[in-house]
Amino acid sequence: MQLLQNRIAAEGKILGNGILKVDSLINHQVDPMLMDACGLEFAHIFKDSGASRILTAEISGIAPALMTGVHMKLPVVYARKTRPVTMPGTVYLTTAPSHTKGNMVDLIVSPEYLKPGETVLIIDDFLASGATILGLVRLAEAAGAKVVGVGALIEKTFEGGRSALESLNVPVETLVRITSMENNILHFG
């Protein structure tokens, strides 16, 4: 998606250790028009997926997932990283490594919002190692739901996430692929 790639090229900052800062677009400040365009693109890509619900991770996945949900007319559930007092006693919980935090984070979903037999489309901000997306897959499976597709705004192809998701046997689509961040230069592919 050229619009997203142009914005990443103009505003993205390589921080080292494989971290790409896109805070001005999706992580801290959100460009709603850009996220709307990305959501529309995902809705087009996954229109025949049969999804009944969209699942993402708190917090950076919420904007693209929400806009995809608007265009697909589907509810969006996000896995919380901390458990609020309003959540029931029994939850679906897994852990995944956070590249930007440098530690493991919890991913928690209430069974009120992820039910057996549902078909789930996972939308997130990055596909890097695939660890967060695989955590979301584990949550869906624990609920008895079926994952029917995975979408991410940005794929860092050099981190191997796509191959980590191959066993899912579902479409994996990304809007922008970054093939290298060596020498502080973004290379798109």
Question: Tokens representing 70?
Answer: 């608007």
Burial track 62-98 (b if 16+ CB lie within 10 A, e otherwise): bbbbbbbbebbebebbbbbeeeeeebeeebbbbebee
Phi, then psi, of 23 in degrees rounded to 5: -60, -30
**2-157 carries CATH number 3.50.50.60:** no
For the full predicted model, state whether its pTM sits above 0.75: yes
Band of the pLDDT at 103, cuts 50, 70, 90?
A: confident
What distance in Å separates the CA atoms of residue 167 and residue 138, rounded to the nearest whole number?
A: 13
Cα 139 → chain centroid: 14
- Mean residue pLDDT of the chain comes to 95
Q: Which helix (H) or strand (E) holds 177?
A: strand 172-180
pLDDT band (50, 70, 90) for residue 97: confident
pLDDT band, very low/low/confident/very high, at 67 (cuts 50, 70, 90): very high
Distance of CA 102 to the CA centre of its chain: 18
- Comparing 34-48, 53-67, 77-91, which segment has the lowest mean pLDDT? 77-91
pLDDT score, position 19: 92
| Residues forming beta bridges with residue 145, ordered by sequence position | none
Length of the chain: 189
The CA distances from residue 111 to 93, 98, 149, in Å, are 10, 24, 21
Predicted confidence (pLDDT) per residue in 5-51, tens digit: 999 999 999 998 889 999 999 989 999 999 999 999 999 999 999 99
Q: What does the alpha-carbon distance between residue 152 and residue 125 come to, in Å, rounded to a whole number? A: 5
